[in-house]
Structure 1
Amino acid sequence: MTLRPGRAETSTIGTRSGRVAELTEIRATRPDAIASAAALRPRRDTLLGPSGRLMLVAADHPARGALAAGGDPLAMADRGELLDRLCTALERPGVDGVLGTPDVIEDLLLLGVLDGKVVIGSMNRGGLAGAAFEIDDRFTAYDAAALSAARLDGGKMLLRIDDGDPATAGALEGCARAVSALAGNGLMAMVEPFVSRAADGRRHNVLTPEAMMRAISVAAGLGTTSARTWLKVPVVPDMERVMAASTLPALLLGGEVAGDPKAALAGWRRALRLPTVKGLVVGRSLLYPSDGDVAGAVDAAVEAL
């Protein structure tokens, strides 16, 4: 992994601690290098790859305090290791890009691994995992203006709908404003909708076909235009009926690290046959596979496309 701070110089420090130290040094002494790297990053012309599909690696979990992967509750807390795994994934053939919060995207920009990649910025990370206010998914990261200024390709937002919690109304309004602003800047708006419930002291997404059909129907109507809106959805039972709820292009999410990776791949393959499903956005399942083989997990997901 080669560090390219602002594309003005290069470094071949090979150790994880060395890369982290140099990233921190750039941030402390030359913070403008981040904007320089963003301004000079080669971009691609289209979101979809040559196959007509889109394969993104997701890394926006830490900013919401969701650090667990598999059986390790703090797997994503080591930023150097996360960056190593992201760079491995981004180097694999067929991987189109990444989804992340500003801190992660800016590290990757400085590392020079986002050339020609689709880069989606995560926007509302305020609903911290496990917090009493978790349903209040406020916009605390990128906004449309910042995404446009950084020459990124779109913004992603989480939309959890709880009919019994008034905070849902604010989340709906915030997402609608973001969809409109992103479209106004010519950027993709990626909406991840769920029906959500609080039970047993935790918040759960309701993954029934009926719940997802309702969530998709609400998400599709957000904003002043849906021209640039995409959906990010889980694989649930009866996906043909679920995806018939909208004509918007959709990407499948990966969710938790799968106990049975072969079953997860089979579910993706079935859903990818549907006309509105255009690809995958997968994070922990690929970055922290149970066997530790990041490259192998990514290659298997690409093959499913």
Structure 2
Amino acid sequence: MRPESLESIIETRTHRPAAIAEAAARRRRPAAALDGAGTTMIVAADHPARGSLGAGERPLAMADRADLLDRLCLALSRPGVDGVLGTPDIVEDLLLLGALEGKVVFGSMNRGGLTGAAWELDDRFTAYDAATIAAMGYEGGKMLTRIALDDPATAGTVEACARAVSDLARHGLVAMVEPFMAQRTDGRLRNLLTTEAAIRASAIAAGLGTTSAYTWLKVPVVPDMERVVAATTLPTVLLGGEVNQDQDATFAAWERALALPNVVGLVVGRSLLYPPGDDVTTAVDTAVSLLPRTVRAP
């Protein structure tokens, strides 16, 4: 990123904060959340707001905002990348940089379950709400829904996510629900990445809210993805998860899952923004190449 671009963001935020809403109002929106082939490729960048700054072997990979924005702008510039998922601070930086023209924007909603916190499962809605997502002209909202059957904090989070699904639906906006079964091990909360856990989490998430008409699921790639995807008829996108040093194996797993009937795309962050070898362009282009080329029926 050129120093003057960063300086311009800082100057605007300091002296002309109304310019953010103006940039959102001017933004050229995509025709739909899915592209012409019925698929989508979204770059995710909402981890920092939960205090999760690591990627692979780099514990503070996302701590430099200018570097993160540079990587995001590069990824968004590549052919076939449809948009971004982020918290208000990151989305608004990208708006001011002009990087979201014609792009899909998903606002990340619940970031209050800070990584490593004692209340991590009490995942409060501290970022976007449905009304703001609609007012800013974005395409949808995303919520993390971690379910630990032995932790009472889960109940409040699940209820809040259900309200968010309903609120987004009232605006005709996509609710992207990212469900995990979770448990604490040695005091640390961990997502369960088994086939059975993914199936159970998807089944619970699909039933949240007063309607599922606008709900998508965002799920991890686990063994036997055919069984996971068969648990619901909802459109499903794949998340990238932790950075894997064996990137070829990751791409192969994504490609197999993308061939399944209701899997409509990828929503990936760290695996593409901080890939092994640090070649963002190649990682993003390879991920895009995995998307089905056949136009799916509307």
Q: TM-score, normalised by structure 2?
A: 0.96
* Distance in 1 between residues matched to 2:121 and 2:156, nearest whole Å: 10
1:163 Cα offset (Å): 0.6
Q: Which residue of 1 aligns with 2:14?
A: 28
Q: What is aligned with 1:286?
A: 272
Measure, in 2, the Cα distance between the counterparts of 1:299 and 1:202: 35
Could you say which residue in structure 2 is the equivalent of 1:263?
A: 249
Query: Distance in 1 between the 2:8 and 2:201 partners?
Result: 43
Instruction: Return the match for 1:130 from 73, 98, 116.
Output: 116
In structure 2, the residue matched to 1:171 is 157
1:208 Cα shift? 0.9
Structure 1, residues 146-167: CA drift from partner, whole Å, max 9, x if none?
Answer: 0001000000000000011110
Corresponding residue number in structure 2 for 1:250: 236
SS of the aligned residue for 1:172 comes to: helix
Please say if 1:185 is aligned against 2:185: no
Match 1:224 to one of 210, 213, 226: 210
Supply the distance in 2 between the matched residues of 1:136 and 1:225 (Cα, whole angstroms): 24
- The 3-state SS of whatever aligns with 1:245 is coil
Aligned AA (1:237): P
* Distance (whole Å) between structure 2 residues aligned to residue 112 and residue 198 of structure 1: 42
Query: 1:55-94 residue pairs with structure 2 within 5 A?
Result: 55-94=41-80
Q: Pick from 147, 163, 172 the counterpart of residue 161 of structure 1.
A: 147
What is the Cα deviation at residue 262 of structure 1? 0.3
Percent identical: 66
Select the residue among 87, 90, 93 that pairs with 1:107. Answer: 93
Shift of 1:67: 0.1
CA-to-aligned-CA distance 1:88-130 (integer Å, 9 cap, x gap): 0000000000000000000000000101100000000000011
Question: Where does residue 184 of structure 2 map in the other structure?
Answer: 198
Q: How far did residue 235 of structure 1 move? A: 0.4
The CA distance in 2 between the partners of 1:153 and 1:53, in whole Å, is 15
Name the CA distance, whole Å, in 2 between partners of 1:168 and 1:249.
24
Following superposition, the deviation at residue 202 of structure 1 comes to: 1.2
**Cα distance in structure 1, aligned partners of 2:120 and 2:175:** 22
Pairwise CA distance, 1:21: 2.0
Q: CA deviation at 1:19?
A: 2.1
What are structure 2's unaligned runs of at least 5 residues? 292-298
Counterpart selection for 1:118 from 92, 101, 104 = 104
Give the Cα separation in 1 of the matches to 2:166 and 2:124: 16
**Residue 43 (str. 1) matches residue 20 (str. 2):** no
- Within 2, Cα distance between the matches of 1:70 and 1:100? 20
Of 113, 123, 141, which residue of structure 1 is paired with 2:127?
A: 141
1:163 & 1:184 partners in 2: Cα distance? 30
1:95 matches 2:88: no
| Structure 1 partner of 2:294 | none
Aligned residue identity for 1:63: A
Gaps of 5+ in 1: 1-13
Offset, 1:242? 1.1
Match of residue 138, structure 2, among 152, 169, 172: 152
Aligned length: 291
